[in-house]
């Protein structure tokens, strides 16, 4: 196959995202990305070293345009965390299969490093330090990326919830009622209200300290 005249990291990342969105994360290989670019696999190695480098490019592409909070903002730290987490969710939800990479490649891309530093800064502003800041940070990271995967694999509007809503009322009354209510909750509302619960808990933890 002829090699493209100009191949940028952005073009490689775009091709990799196309593969992931279409076929899933397991389909991401040097061969599949090279095919999407219309080039030979060995030619792609001139631009990236292997799958790990592809993964880092993908993560950086998803995360790099996430708007970070302004350091001089007068808004409460919880409000700014809510905004930051919402913007990350909006970026990742466009490519939900990428969510696992945001954890495994979090140490190797500027986008994730800048986001992590910003979140830690807001937690510090809120009164967290030491091990308490570690736990708060991990709690929020676990929530935002876990929520994206849960929405993708087990959406409240999906078949699983529909099946639960039809369970026998005598045997599983709470599961049935909860599923019936859950079907009326949008993904955005689910994310926001759950995050509000977490942030209230973090505020209370700071107050107790």
DSSP notation for 89-123: HHHHTTSGGGHHHHHHTTTS-HHHHHHHHHHHHHH
In terms of domains, do 192 and 111 share one?
A: yes
Within 13 Å, how many C-alpha atoms sit on residue 43's CB side? 17
Are residue 112 and residue 146 in the same domain, yes or no? yes
**Are 43 and 72 contained in the same domain?**
no
**CATH number of the domain bearing residue 19:** 1.10.10.60
Q: Give yes or no: residues 89 and 161 share one domain.
A: yes
Contact 28, 54 (CB under 8 A): yes
Position 94 in a domain: yes
String of b and e for 102-139 (b: at least 16 CB within 10 Å)?
beebbeebebbeebeebbebbbeebbbeeeeeeebbee
Instruction: Tell me which residue range forms the domain holding 13.
Output: 9-48
Are 130 and 197 in the same domain? yes
Residue 60 lies in a domain: no
**Do residue 74 and residue 38 come from a single domain?**
no
In a domain, 155, yes or no: yes
Indicate if 116 and 38 belong to the same structural domain.
no
Structure tokens at 154: 């087990």
Q: Residue 58 falls within a domain, yes or no?
A: no
44 and 122 fall within a common domain: no
CA 165 to CA 46: how far, in whole Å? 53
pLDDT per residue as tens digits for the range 154-177: 888 888 999 999 999 999 999 999
Q: How high is the pLDDT of residue 170?
A: 97
Q: State whether 188 and 140 are in the same domain.
A: yes
* Residue 62 located in a structural domain: no
> Where do we find the tokens 């913007």?
87
From residue 52, give the alpha-carbon distance in Å to each of 1, 29, 43, 101, 104. Answer: 24, 10, 17, 10, 10
Task: Identify the segments of the chain with pLDDT beneath 50.
Answer: 1-4
| 195 found inside a domain | yes
Q: What is the pLDDT of residue 20?
A: 95
Residue 4 lies in a domain: no
Residues 189 and 119 in one domain: yes
**pLDDT for the residue numbered 71:** 66
Domain assignment present for residue 2? The answer is no
Determine how many CB atoms are found less than 10 A away from the CB of residue 46.
9
Q: What is the pLDDT of residue 192?
A: 94
Helices (H), the chain: 9-23, 30-37, 41-44, 51-63, 77-92, 99-104, 110-125, 130-153, 159-165, 173-182, 187-208
Contacts of 165 (CB under 8 A, 6+ apart): 176, 179, 180, 182, 183
Question: Do 72 and 156 fall into the same domain?
Answer: yes
pTM of the model: 0.83
The pLDDT of residue 1: 46
Structurally, how many domains does the chain consist of?
A: 2
Is there a single domain that holds both residue 93 and residue 126?
yes
Gap between the Cα atoms of 29 and 177, Å rounded = 44
């Amino acid at each position: 196959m002829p090699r493209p005249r100009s191949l940028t990291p952005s073009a490689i990342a775009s091709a990799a995202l196309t593969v992931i969105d279409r076929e899933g994360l397991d389909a991401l290989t040097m061969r599949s990305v090279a095919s999407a670019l219309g080039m030979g696999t060995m030619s792609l190695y001139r631009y990236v070293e292997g799958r790990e480098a592809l993964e880092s490019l993908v993560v950086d592409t998803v995360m790099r345009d996430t708007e970070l909070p302004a350091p001089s903002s007068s808004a409460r730290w919880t409000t700014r965390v809510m905004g930051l987490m919402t913007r990350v969710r909006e970026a990742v939800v466009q490519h939900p299969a990428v969510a696992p990479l945001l954890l495994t490649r979090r140490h190797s891309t500027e986008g994730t490093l800048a986001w992590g530093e910003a979140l830690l800064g807001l937690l510090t502003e809120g009164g967290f330090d030491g091990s308490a800041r570690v736990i708060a940070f991990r709690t929020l990271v676990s929530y935002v990326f876990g929520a994206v995967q849960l929405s993708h694999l087990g959406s409240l509007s999906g078949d699983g919830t529909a099946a639960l809503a039809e369970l026998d009322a005598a045997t599983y009354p709470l599961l049935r009622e909860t599923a019936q209510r859950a079907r009326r909750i949008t993904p955005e509302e689910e994310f926001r209200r759950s995050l509000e619960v977490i942030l209230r808990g973090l505020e209370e933890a700071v107050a107790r300290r």
